[in-house]
Structure 1
Amino acid sequence: MKEIISLAPGRTCLFGDHQDYLGLPVIACAISRSIKLTAVQNNSGVFKLNMVDIDQLRIIDINQTFSQLEPRDYFASSLRVLRRHGCIPNVGYDITITGNIPINSGTSSSSALLLAWINFLVTAYGVNEEITPEFISRMGYLSEVVEHGEPGGMMDHYSIGVGNIVHIDTRDPFSFTVIGNELGGLITGVSGVPKETIGLIGDLKGNALLAIGTIKQSFPDFDLHQTEIEDLDKYRNYLPDRLIPFFEAAIKNHHYTKMALIEFQKPVLDLKKIGALMNKHHAVLRDLLKITVPRIDAMINAALKAGAYGAKIVGSGGGGSIVVMAEPGNEAPVVEALLAAGAVEAYAVTVDPGSRIE
């Protein structure tokens, strides 16, 4: 029987959290933790999905078209999206899904599963377009965000689908550039506090867009992409106090992401500078957007005291994980410090080449 093995890594956001839904750039990378989907062709006309790690079994008729979607049912939404692109299932598969990406931790286990599933589907049944990492990424974004009307952005799908270290320009027309494939000294720390996603992103996005819309009422030519930190004082007086932090966060995070891109484009990376920018980015996420929790704060403080160059919360916030920039070869004491500070998991990671068929 035909067998297909589809692998998709997790990702970490290095710079640009809560920026992609504003059309601002992001720097992210795929990391060496992954979801593995092993599919063996059967004669039953169904997908039999055995999700080993969460002890769930799901059976989907290969002819089901899903006129109605259940919330966050990405198996269904991707089947619906891919049918529009000529991917028509005509035979069933027994599918085993395993992985070592912590669930609900901010390292995109759900998007990794989605992209592994999409890559399997287009490999098994074909599609009307060339199958490229960009195509897989775009199908993931359409299936997760657009099809379900969710408030997230494109970062997860493109960093996982394209792999490596990627700079993503989330404006329309969308573009991305691979800016590296190695980054030594990278560590993930998992807090064990379940992160918030849909509600928190929706609130932060809504307030940021409201602030920008308010500014545009007085400055019709206002361009978020052209605004610098020095311009903040010019605009603050035109905003109600409650919206100022969201506007300030957007401007500052954009600035730090631009500064980080300059560093990543240099032939030799200065990890101390990248770490320092990471710390500034985290301060905005902590103090202005207020998306950290006590355990995350304790973990970051512990990492820095153990000699790390920089650390920040990853993803939507309210829990989840952190990314740490340490001196290559000095990861072990930082990992120990994270565990002592309450992390349920902490480990060094390397940059992954992205979603692929093995």
Structure 2
Amino acid sequence: MKEKMIREFVDKFGGERETVETFFAPGRVNLIGEHIDYNGGHVFPCALDFGTYGAVRKRQDNKLRMASLNFDLEVEVDADRLVYDEADDWANYPKGVVKGFLNRGCRVGGMDILYWGNIPNGAGLSSSASLEVLTAVLVNDLFDCGIAPMDLVLLTQEAENSFVGVNCGIMDQFAVCMGRKDSAMLLDCKTLEYSYAPLVLDGIRIVIGNTRKRRGLADSKYNERRSECEYALAKLREVVEIETLCDLDPAAFQAHRHRIDQEAPARRAEHAVWENHRTLEAAAALQAGDLARFGELMNASHRSLRDLYEVTGRELDAMVEEAWKVDGTIGSRMTGAGFGGCTVSLVRAGAVEDFIKTVGENYAAATGLEPEFYVVDVGAGASRI
């Protein structure tokens, strides 16, 4: 892939191949802990072995020229005049990251950058975070900015929040930047403390199912759910001293649930509190090698996202329900923001072929959409290659 990127870069921008630098940032999947990163809870993602590749060369002037093998659009802007422009589409993500470096006093000059990714766009596997973190790692490296990895996570999240205008939590950028091969990561989104858990899946594979129901995060009800959680938090803080919803355990939440005077925010908060509890239990189950319990918690997570948080939709529900029927499925749930995108399932290795065939056929019959499936391995975080 490194050779391919260098060759394509020289075809696009010219110059000597020896002057081209190459980088990679993975996609991510969250095993459990959904819609709680912005509620002060714990998430449990892992990086994947596919993602976004970048080839780059410094320029002598101040121009940023960005192209992608995935899209026809090419963008050229001045590095010292970076503003959001809807016409620049995907290039707003790397523009926002470069702007973040400039805001921190880093001297970033012109670059030619070629991107290529094999994360399905809009599937909910963090193609945007992968693009952002890739850009951050290459800028940090090329211009010797010296920004620590966790600070790169915060910089890229800020770029998506403030520059692009998507009010995402921190999980996606964290998993993409900080991933470790064959490990999942338990992140406390309130304190940013994290630990790694060996993802030893003897005889079990991770299967991601793409519903092919496209969703754009900025266009979804994501921001609406966040505001409902903020409303619930404000009502609860009238009677308990908490900073986030996930400061409450399930018993404490149940004792004060009646203080939330609107049912929709109350259901959103109930999901957040219980999902945090499930995630901590799931991480402990994985450490203990109890994959059966881990699978049960995945299933419970999906039901909560369906019934309490209401972010699944017909397509995700159909795919998960078909997965639950297959002998050999340990657990299955939606992953990502919802409203389309992907499911993640743990499936016994001997049942993977039947899983893909059976779930694929039944899902297509139920929805009229042809799904895609990826049997994935757990990869490392973003780096030079």
Aligned position for 2:250: 229
Query: Which position in structure 1 is the counterpart of 2:13?
Result: none
SS at match of 2:237: helix
Note the aligned Cα RMSD (angstroms): 2.2
The answer for the alignment partner of 2:295 in structure 1 is 275
Of 254, 276, 280, 1:254 maps to 276
Match in the other structure for 1:346:
373
- 2:185 partner letter: V
Q: Which string of whole-angstrom CA distances, capped at 9 and with x for unpartnered residues, describes residues 1-34 of structure 1?
A: 4111111111111111110111111111111221
One-letter code aligned to 2:379: D
CA contact (8 A) 2:25 2:133 kept: yes
Distance 1:222 1:48 in 2: 43
CA gap 1:245/1:120 in 2 versus in 1, 3 angstroms: same
Structure-1 residue corresponding to 2:211:
191
Which whole-Å deviations, capped at 9, do the CAs of 1:227-275 have from their partners, x for residues lacking one?
Answer: 3323444223222223221121111111111111212333xx2222111
Residue 48, structure 1, aligned to residue 84, structure 2: no
1:20-31 alignment, distance < 5 Å: 20-31=37-48
Residue 35 of structure 1 corresponds to which residue in structure 2? 52
Greater displacement, 232-241 / 312-321: 232-241
| 2:169 match | 153
* Helix, strand or coil at the partner of 1:312: strand
Residue deviations 1:108-142, cap 9 Å, x none? 00110111111111121110x3x553343232222
**Which of 232, 242, 250 lines up with 1:211 in the alignment?**
232
2:288 matches 1:302: no
Contact 2:332 2:344 in 1 (8 A): yes
TM-score by length of 2: 0.84
Is 2:138 the counterpart of 1:120? yes
Give the letter aligned to residue 271 of structure 2: A
Deviations 1:24-70 (A, max 9, x none): 11111111221111124555653322211122211233x4232x434
- The Cα shift of 1:181 comes to 5.0
Match of 1:5 among 13, 19, 22: 22
Quick check: which one's helix share is greater?
Answer: 2
Deviation at 1:146, TM superposition (A): 4.5
CA distance in 2, matches of 1:106, 1:224: 24
Q: Distance in 1 between matches of 2:49 and 2:242?
A: 43
Give structure 1 stretches of 5+ with no counterpart: none
Q: How far apart are the structure 1 equivalents of 2:259 and 2:333?
A: 30
Q: Distance in 2 between matches of 1:85 and 1:45?
A: 18
Between 1:114-123 and 1:279-288, the stretch displaced more is: 114-123
CA distance in 1, matches of 2:243, 2:119: 41
2:102 equivalent to 1:80: no
Identical-pair percentage: 22
Number of equivalent positions: 350
SS in 2 for 1:116: helix
Q: What is the CA-CA distance between 1:220 and the residue it aligns to?
A: 4.3
Indicate the residue corresponding to 1:141 in structure 2: 157
Q: Structure 1 pair 272/151, CA: closer, same or farther in 2 (3 Å)?
A: same
Structure 2, unmatched stretches of 5+, are 1-15, 365-369
2:52 and 2:200 map into 1 onto residues whose CA distance is 21
Indicate how the Cα distance of structure 1 residues 283 and 170 shifts in structure 2: closer, same or farther if over 3 A, else same: same
| Aligned residues of 1:338 and 1:346 also touching (Cα < 8 A) | no
Q: Would the aligned equivalents of 2:275 and 2:301 in 1 still touch at CA under 8 Å? A: yes
| 3-state DSSP of counterpart to 2:333 | strand
